[in-house]
Structure 1
Amino acid sequence: MKKFMAFLAAMIIATGVSFTNKNTAKADDDTTPVVTLGSSLTSSQKQGTINTLTQSLNGASYKTITVTGSDLVKYLNPSGETFTTSSGVWSSAMIQKTSSGSGINVKILDYNGSNNITTITANQYKNAALTAGITDANIYITSATPIDGSGALAGIYAAYAQSGNTLNQSQVNAAQSELNTLSSITQDNKNKDGYSDAQLNNAVAGAKADMAKYGSNITNNQITTIVNNQLEKNNLTNVITNSQKQQIINLLITIKKSGALNSNSFKEQAQKLSSQIQEGAKSIFNKLNSQDTKNWIQKIIDAVINFFKGLFGGVIVLK
């Protein structure tokens, strides 16, 4: 939180910041939202992007920075991407500080009526932001052209860097690996019965909260147990493949190694994220909870039947 507040204040005087609305932010106004614009946008696309991202501000002040291919190279290539300094950037974002304990909220906004973020979901962005070390913020994401959206958070990372309070690069790397892993699993299971992106991201957020209880000393075996439990809670045990489960385990081990668990707020933010995901997909989780209740009742019935079968040595049939 302190880093984020310092970042917003420093952005006012940082080199490369331009003001695009008529209101001028005061130097001590550390609540001013920051808009990050892809360098490949045309003038009309930039204005359209600003209009899209700032619509919730109702005319309030904001600041802008431009995200270039160099930012993609700096923040995303260490996690295995292959951007160059001449790479195009279209996906853009706005970050807005919120009150302590409010968690990370992400909305993907349509641009001229179309959702142009083709691959990454809002829940995937939320989990990645948590891993990167971002806390208590509203993040809005859009793109003027169809794009996977992997570069949108690079703008947020770049904004932090301009304040002199950079995020832990290991956590940023883990966050980008998380985006790639979760989006890949969701794409592989698209339209598969019993699967939803909300279930996967809720399982991962829940696993992070469970990991935080152990801290950085958690073992890989404990992480494996946590993943198995979370997949069961989210009814994904028999839906995703063993290979995909191992990818999740490996991802969480990477997150542990990144130092994310050293944050005092990580557990709270992870729990809040899980609640937000469930709130945003009530129909899915109400159905899962209903199924869990049925399974629990069935287990009790099975236990009673097995008890009497053992007691009398016969077969009991319920009609």
Structure 2
Amino acid sequence: MRLSMTRRRVALTLGLAGVLAAGTATTVALKGPSQPAAAATVAATRAISCDTKAGGKHFYDGPSASKKYDTRFSNSAALPKLGSYVPQGIGTWWNWSGKKDLLLVTMYHTGKQSLIVGIDPATNKVVGDVAIAETHGGGITTSMGWAFVQGSTNGIRKYKLSTLAAAMKKAGTPYVKAVGSERKVYGASFLTSYGDSLWSGKFNKDGRDKMYEYKIKSNGTLVTVNKAWEVPTKTQGLLVTKTHFVYSTSYGRDKLSNLYVVRRGQPDLDKAKLSCFRAPSMSEGITEYGGRAYLVFESGSYPYRSDKTTKNVITRLHKASISSLTSLA
């Protein structure tokens, strides 16, 4: 969304944004994995209050998002190729080469092949990148010998990790082809995994939506668990732990993002124990590695970084300890 506001004028609207929190909240029917074309059943529900108290000193461009964010997060690795590509999803790849691990970031440029970039979390250096068929790349995760990436709006592609590893070690940007056709799901706007489960759901700028859990078979097949989970409005990314869901939500370069920490067990957000607080603008995917959450932003990329209405221009990953987040709910 493009609005002709200056940074100063945007900042003056922060109080109103705090009152509105997540906007008009809606909820969807929580039974049955509806087909993508099916209309969701919606009903009005209460708005979730998000902490808007600003911090003091902060470590990123633009105004402080919130004290809770500023005291928990810090800078991590710089994102590459922001002059040509827009980062979206982020996932973790354990033991990709011996005992070495990678953070995988998906990046897109409309009309071109997309990228998967590998960043070593031990050194914050880019190890390599590969090209894949064009996709928005809203989510990426690895499990059971496979990498899963958003394909279409309602589709998930799979790539063999052995093939991906060989390509990542080559010079240049080799092309890697997905295995088979994409798996159609309710929504693939964001996705992640925990153990042998993949979680995937739908972005909705106008109200809450839902996600589903899928059991991952050794051949990469995804088997639907017939239970939906309500997700916040404008969900862009998801991190799953044994006890919690952490949602990254955003929409609009001139608006702050929200992070929701939700205790697992209750699929209805109105009944779940949760906490919400402001984050810098244009947050996208989020992943866990080494007891830390790593959050990616698209605001530092070429379509947004020179626009004065972009509230926070962020060119690096941000990280926070998982315990500092889950302790909130």
Question: If each structure's strand is expressed as a fraction of its own residues, which one has the higher value?
Answer: 2
Shorter-chain TM-score tier: under 0.3
Could you state the TM-score of these two structures normalised by the residue count of structure 1?
0.25
Could you state the TM-score of these two structures normalised by the residue count of structure 2?
0.25
Q: Who wins on radius of gyration, i.e. which is larger? A: 1
Question: If each structure's helix is expressed as a fraction of its own residues, which one has the higher value?
Answer: 1
- Flag the structure with more relative contact order, 1 or 2, with Cα contacts below 8 A and sequence separation at least 6: 2
